[in-house]
Structure 1
Amino acid sequence: MNKPPFGVLLVNLGTPEAPTSAAVRAYLKEFLSDRRVVDVPKWLWWPVLNGVILRIRPPRVAKAYASIWTEEGSPLMSISRAQQRALKAALAEEYGCDIPVALAMTYGRPSMEDAGRELRQAGAERLVVLPLYPQNSSSTTAAVHDRYARALAPCPHVPASRWITDYHQHPQYIGALADSVRRYWDEHGRPDRLMMSFHGIPKRYETKGDPYPSQCRATAAAVAQALELADDEWICSFQSRFGREEWVKPYTDHTLEEWGKAGVGRVDVISPAFAADCLETLEELEVENREVFMEAGGKEYHYIPCLNDSADHINMMVSLVRENAQGWS
């Protein structure tokens, strides 16, 4: 068969296979065992993880997953599959031939090995690796690097690969985010404040040199500029804290509580760290943090969905692939 000029490996974080305690426990064990995610020494972390967290958290997290689960399964998985199909179709139109696109999750399935077999069977010997993390962090993008290397360790033929480490200020990414907000405002009116909430990381990660928080702030500032917002009309905040140590601030939930108490009437929220809606957006942002704001005195709270498989988002991915596959077509 004719070999494709290259293939594309899309990678996202992962998801439990079912909204059950057993499935969540298996997923959390793999996820929280990664030193990129939790860098506490194993002798200290292991008893906490296995003796406390994996006993207490799975039922509660499973309940949260059940509240967002669909007939197609986990939203993260169904949206990622839709992105995979849409990108494959768009690349076929762009290049005039079939460009294989495989999906892998850093944790859970489809695994990196599953995706590798799919791409190898399609004849791809050169890969563009696209982690679906707009901002680069040791706990996400670097974890993909580690997982990719482990998957390739037994392979006699390592494919040439080009990595997209981030796209936090790519013009099409910023434009797609701003346009999604404009479309929402055209239909629902404008808020008093726009909150751009990003998944948080411990403060000490930033102190050690993790570029993620600064890239989040740069993304938020670029979107605010594109929307022509005044400084007091938007904020960059961080959500999803875990444990007792200090994380990057300002905290999303604390800020919403302060705004509610201060009489801010309407808040709209987007989450530019996520390429696909998932538990952290559909349950934490849309439900939990809505309650925080409303109970503190807020009047209206609107969550604006992620870019997901929108045409703007897929076109941006095509541009990323094209820019990184130069000379391979």
Structure 2
Amino acid sequence: MKIAIVLFNLGGPDSLQAVQPFLRNLFSDPAIIALPSWLRLPLASLIARRRTPKALRIYEQIGGGSPILGQTEAQARALEEVLSADNTCEWRGYVCMRHWHPLTETVARSIHRFAPDRIVLLPLYPQFSTTTTASSVKAWRKAAHFKIPTVAIDSYPTEPGFIAASVELVKQGLAEAGSGPKRLLFSAHGLPERIVKAGDPYREQVEQTAKAIAARLGDVDWSVCYQSRVGPLKWIGPSTDSEIARAAHEQVGIVLYPLSFVSEHSETLVELDIDYRRLATEAGAPVYVRVPTVGTHPLFIRGLADLVRAALAPPVKAA
């Protein structure tokens, strides 16, 4: 049996020349800007042009492009390796980016050539949001027309392998921070408040992840915060920068874990590692440690493999 696994992620520009078209694709997504296309598309082009100079400065700091494609490819290959223990199936992982290459239509054509018997849609967003998982699945349904069983994994905010990998990495970060008082900040990508009020479960699932990790750590001072605000809308909070400032004011060390990201990209390598580290230093924080994302951590990859196997167990639901 041949099984295709589609690993969804947002994507990122692979060169400085790709920054503006990537931003245009991002803001053209109706899940990001909920306006009619005749208004949304010109607005997306305008926002992309205005944001490009700032975005260029960001990507210049990490080599001129996002590393997310290579990291997601590594996750796909690691997942194939774990699943290949079941030699009754041929497993193949496909990276599918929502707003940059490889785009959905291209991936669907590749999978068509593979001719699988089953397809599993696996979002690399542990917490569900209409702006990420739902947007990716909707784009897949529009582009892919397979008459074979397809199942979508919605979310996995407390999946044991994901939590175990997170706990292991956070423990290393806490040890690196030393013996003094410290606070663990769980930082997640923010959302406009109106999206959450409309019923998006993202914030609730982020808190589920944080509580699951904290429960495994025992007695630890922790809080959840949100980063990457864009535009004039009110976003969910508290903001990561305000929590960093509060911890610094209280003279406790900061250990920051980006629990909604499973790979490194501009929002971890620049926003957290450079911008927020500078903020913490200038605010007088005694220590600032940024915990890496789960990446290809063996416990996380085994957790993804468990999700895939469970999704394929009968009965198989249509995506």
TM-score grouping bracket, smaller chain normalisation: over 0.9
How many residue pairs align between the two structures? 315
1:173 to 162, 166, 180: 162
Q: Tell me the SS of whatever aligns to 1:94.
A: coil
Deviation at 1:42, TM superposition (A): 5.3
Q: Does structure 2 conserve the Cα–Cα contact (< 8 Å) formed by 1:106 and 1:112?
A: yes
Find 1:146's aligned residue among 105, 115, 138. 138
Could you state the TM-score of these two structures normalised by the residue count of structure 2? Answer: 0.92
Do structure 1's residue 262 and structure 2's residue 250 form an aligned pair?
yes
Offset at 1:45?
5.1
The structural deviation recorded for 1:122 is 2.1
What's the secondary structure of 1:99's corresponding residue? strand
Query: Which residue does 2:290 correspond to in 1?
Result: 303
Q: Judge conservation of contact 2:128–2:201 (CA < 8 Å) in 1.
A: yes
Aligned to 1:84, which of 58, 76, 81? 76
1:321 — aligned with what? 308
CA displacement at 1:47 relative to structure 2: 5.4
| Residue 226 of structure 2 corresponds to residue 238 of structure 1 | yes
Structure 1 residue 165 displacement after superposition: 0.4
Q: 2:10 aligns with which of 13, 33, 56?
A: 13
**What is the Cα deviation at residue 187 of structure 1?**
5.2
Aligned: 1:61 with 2:58: no
1:43 Cα deviation from its structure 2 partner: 6.2
Q: Give the aligned partner of residue 30 of structure 1.
A: 25
Distance 1:45 1:148 in 2: 21
User: Structure 1 CA distance, aligned partners of 2:257 and 2:125?
Assistant: 15
Q: What whole-Å deviation, never above 9, does each CA across 1:229-271 have from its counterpart, x for those lacking one?
A: 34xx10111111111121111110111112222322x101111
Paired residues of 2:5 and 2:122 also in contact (CA < 8 A)? yes
Q: Partner letter of residue 256 of structure 1?
A: I
CA contact (8 A) 1:100 1:119 kept: no
SS in structure 1 of the partner of residue 85 of structure 2:
helix
Task: Tell me the SS of whatever aligns to 1:128.
Answer: strand
1:182 deviation in Å? Answer: 1.8
| Paired position in structure 2 for 1:183 | 172
Q: 1:229 to 1:114 in 2, by over 3 A?
A: farther
Return the match for 1:115 from 80, 104, 107.
107
Q: 1:201 aligns with which of 174, 178, 191?
A: 191
The one-letter amino acid of 2:159's match is H
Q: Aligned partners of 1:215, 1:55: CA distance in 2, in Å?
A: 33
Partner amino acid, structure 2, of 1:226? R
Does residue 163 (structure 1) correspond to residue 158 (structure 2)? The answer is no
Amino acid at match of 2:9: N
Rounded Cα–Cα distance in structure 2 between residues aligned with 1:326 and 1:268: 39
Q: Which runs of 5+ in 2 are unaligned?
A: none
Q: Is contact 2:173-2:290 (8 Å) kept?
A: no
Q: How far does residue 202 in structure 1 lie from its aligned partner after superposition?
A: 0.6
Quick one: percent identity of the two aligned structures? 31
CA distance in 2, matches of 1:322, 1:229: 34
Kept in 1, the 8 Å contact 2:177–2:287? The answer is no
For the residue of structure 2 that corresponds to 1:169, the secondary structure is: coil
Give yes or no for contact 2:9–2:125 (8 Å, CA) kept in 1: yes
What is the CA deviation profile of residues 70-120 of structure 1, one whole-angstrom value per residue up to 9, with x for unaligned ones? 8xx632111101111111111112345421111110111111222222222
Aligned to 1:227: 217
In structure 1, C-alpha distance between the alignment counterparts of 2:217 and 2:83, rounded to whole Å: 30
Q: 1:271 — aligned with what? A: 258
1:57, distance to aligned residue in structure 2 (A):
1.4
> How big is the shift at 1:123?
2.3
Amino acid of the structure 1 residue aligned with 2:59: Y
Q: Which moved more, 1:311-320 or 1:90-99?
A: 90-99
CA distances 1:259-291 after superposition (whole Å, capped 9, x unpaired) = 222322x10111111111111111111111111
Deviation of 1:46 (Å): 5.1
CA contact (8 A) 1:69 1:75 kept: no
Unaligned residue ranges in structure 1 (runs of 5+): none
Distance 1:183 1:263, change over 3 A: closer
Match of 1:99 among 74, 84, 91: 91
